[in-house]
Amino acid sequence: MIDLHTHSTVSDGSDPPERIVELAVEAGCSAVALTDHDSLAGIGPARTRAEALGVTLVPGCEISCHPVGVGGLHVLVYFVEDGGSPLVGELGRLRVDRHERNVALVERLVSLGVPITFDMVVARAGSEEGVGRPHFAAALVAVGAAESIEDAFDRYLANGRPAYIRKSRLSGPDVARLVRDSGGVAVLAHPYSTGLEGPALAQVVGELAESGFGGIEAIYGRYSPRQRQELGNLARRFDLVATGGSDYHGDSKPDLGVGTGRGDLKVPDRVLGQLEARRPGA
């Protein structure tokens, strides 16, 4: 089995990249993709550990795009290496924008009367680059401004709440083009996060397939067998690879394990070969 969706301390996961690889081996995975938000910085250390342990490390990342429908559109990117490529340049811009958003978010929370500092949030993230809203949520809980992570999003951080600050985003087709120009494959992550289902979801999936997507994340840690089946049907209909992964984050999503998800995840080895066959020029 394999796991094509994990997060480390490079973004909002709680385990270092090397530890993700160790957890994959412990779970019995033959391959694991590291898919941190907006960054390939964990790929080097993860690959070194993977080579030592004899497991395949698939380079990856996850990009939050302009929403479609009512929810978010997240895109998983595979096979793009850190180094000069159109996508890597764009990731750099996204990280600068994230940093500016984070600084503005601290100011906004302070103006709302929350005693929070940038250093507090960075301390939670482990590095300045890795800071995301989940770290703000944890800090809000720590200072008593929220009761839980969910409560922090509901009161302050979610879209439409008082401390929501936009950051610049690409569209799904933008990402597809950048990824193909960089030699990689784009995959629609956790499709139900779009808030769509049925014909409305099928229409969006069809448009993304048309724009160059290679896969759809059908076997997802938190999806039911029925949902996985509906997404598998969409994959067949639009000639996309039905991929899968846990979306492991460590402490912030304690119900999910690398490779195993909630215990019922099992992404077949062959999916990796199918995905590789979608690389430009493959």
Pick one of 3, 12, 18, 230: the residue that binds Fe ion (CB under 5 A).
12
CB neighbours of 180 closer than 8 A, spacing ≥ 6? 186, 212, 280
Applying CB under 5 A, the residues found at the interface with Zn ion are 62, 247
Cβ proximity to Zn ion: between 66 and 222 the closer is 222
Does 98 sit near Fe ion (CB under 5 A)? no
Residue 155 φ then ψ, to 5° = -80, -35
* 103, 128 contact by CB (below 8 A): no
Residue 22, contacted partner among Fe ion, ligand AMP, Zn ion, none, CB below 5-8 A by kind: none
Build a one-symbol-per-residue string for 171-190: x at contacts with Fe ion by CB under 5 A, - elsewhere.
Answer: ------------------x-
Closest distance of CB 6 from Zn ion, Å? 8
* 220, 226 contact by CB (below 8 A): no
- Name residues contacting ligand AMP, limited to 91-150 (CB under 6 A): 132-134, 149-150
Look at residues 215, 189, 208 and name the one whose alpha carbon lies nearest to residue 277.
215
Pick one of 104, 120, 122, 158: the residue that binds ligand AMP (CB under 6 A).
158
Sheet holding 215-220, edge to edge: 2-3, 31-34, 56-68, 71-78, 185-188, 215-220, 241-245
- Name residues contacting ligand AMP, limited to 27-66 (CB under 6 A): 37, 64
Residue 16, contacted partner among ligand AMP, Fe ion, Zn ion, none, CB below 5-8 A by kind: none
Distance of CA 97 to the CA centre of its chain: 17
Residue 150, contacted partner among ligand AMP, Fe ion, Zn ion, none, CB below 5-8 A by kind: ligand AMP
Closest distance of CB 110 from ligand AMP, Å? 18
Does 74 sit near Fe ion (CB under 5 A)? yes
Look at residues 87, 164, 99, 106 and name the one whose alpha carbon lies nearest to residue 129.
99
* 279, 36 contact by CB (below 8 A): no
- The single-letter code of the amino acid at 188 is L
Cβ proximity to Fe ion: between 74 and 124 the closer is 74
Applying CB under 5 A, the residues found at the interface with Fe ion are 12, 74, 189
Applying CB under 6 A, the residues found at the interface with ligand AMP are 12, 37, 64, 132-134, 149-150, 153, 158
